Structure 1
Amino acid sequence: MELRTLRYFLELARRGSFTAAANALNLTQPTLSRQMQELEAEVGAPLLVRGKRRTALTDAGKYLADRAAEILELAERTRNSLSAAGGEIRGDVSIAGGETRAMRLVARAVKKTRDSHPGIRFHIFSGNAEAVSERLEKGLADFGIFVGQANLAGFDHVRLPVGDVWGLLLARGHPLAAREAIAPADLAGVPLLCSAQAVADNELGGWLGEAAAHLEIAATYTLLYNASLLVREGVGAAVCINGIADVSEGSGLVFRPFRPALVVGLALAWKKGRSFSPAATLFRQRLLGEIGGEGGGIQD
Structure 2
Amino acid sequence: MLRSWTRGVVLAEMPDTSKYESLIFPETDSWGVVMPADVPLAQKESITVDDLAGLPLFCSGHSWKNDIPRWAKDRMDDLHLEGSFGLVYNASVFAKEHLGYMLSFDKLVDTSPKSGMVFRPLTPKLETNLYLAWKKYQTFSPIAERFLKQIKKSFGQKQTSGS
Deviations 1:133-166 (A, max 9, x none): 1123xxxx31121113444431111111121111
Query: Partner residue of 2:4?
Result: 135
5 Å-filtered alignment, 1:43-192, equals 129=1, 133-136=2-5, 141-192=6-57
Shift of 1:275: 2.2
State the match for 1:289 in structure 2: 150
8 Å Cα contact 1:158-1:297 kept in structure 2: yes
Change (3 A) 1:213 1:158: same
CA contact (8 A) 2:23 2:159 kept: yes
Give aligned-pair identity as a percent: 28
Structure 1: how far apart are the matches of 2:89 and 2:15? 23
2:35 & 2:145 partners in 1: Cα distance?
37
Contact 1:160/1:296, CA 8 A, preserved across alignment: no
1:267 aligned partner: 131
Q: What is the deviation of 1:283?
A: 2.6
CA distance in 2, matches of 1:275, 1:287: 12
1:26-82 deviations in Å (ceiling 9; x for gaps) = xxxxxxxxxxxxxxxxxxxxxxxxxxxxxxxxxxxxxxxxxxxxxxxxxxxxxxxxx
Query: What amino acid sits opposite 1:169 in the alignment?
Result: V
Q: Distance in 2 between matches of 1:242 and 1:235?
A: 20
Q: Choose between structure 1 and 2: higher helix proportion.
A: 1
Q: For residue 60 of structure 2, what is the aligned residue in structure 1?
A: 195
Question: Could you list the runs of 5+ residues in structure 1 that have no partner in the other structure?
Answer: 1-128
Give the counterpart letter for 1:185 in structure 2: D
Q: SS in structure 1 opposite 2:103?
A: strand
Query: Where has structure 1 moved over 4 Å in runs of 4 or more?
Result: none
Distance 1:179 1:287 in 2: 41
Provide the TM-score with structure 2 as the length reference.
0.90
In structure 2, give the amino acid aligned to 1:160.
F
Measure, in 1, the Cα distance between the counterparts of 2:4 and 2:144: 18
1:174 and 1:206 map into 2 onto residues whose CA distance is 26
TM-score normalised over the length of structure 1: 0.51
Q: What is the SS of the residue equivalent to 1:135?
A: coil
Determine which of 192, 198, 204 is the counterpart of 2:68.
204
Number of equivalent positions: 161
Partners of 1:199 and 1:269 lie apart in 2 by 22
State the alpha-carbon separation in 1 of the partners of residues 46 and 25 from structure 2.
25
Question: Deviation of residue 289 (structure 1)?
Answer: 1.1
Residue 284 of structure 1: how far off its partner (Å):
4.2
Aligned 8 A contact 2:14 2:131 in 1: no
**Do the aligned partners of 1:167 and 1:241 also contact (CA within 8 Å) in 2?**
yes
Consecutive unaligned residues of structure 2, counting only runs of 5 or more, are none
The alpha-carbon distance between structure 1 residues 254 and 282, as it changes in their structure 2 partners (threshold 3 A), is same
Shift of the 153–270 alpha-carbon distance from structure 1 to 2, 3 Å rule, reads same
Q: Distance in 1 between matches of 2:135 and 2:127?
A: 26
Q: Give the 5 Å matches for 1:219-298.
A: 219-276=83-140, 278=141, 281-298=142-159
Name the SS for the 1:134 alignment partner. Answer: coil
Q: Which has the larger radius of gyration?
A: 1
Q: For the structure 1 residues 254 and 287, does the alpha-carbon distance in structure 2 shift closer, same or farther, using more than 3 Å as the test?
A: farther
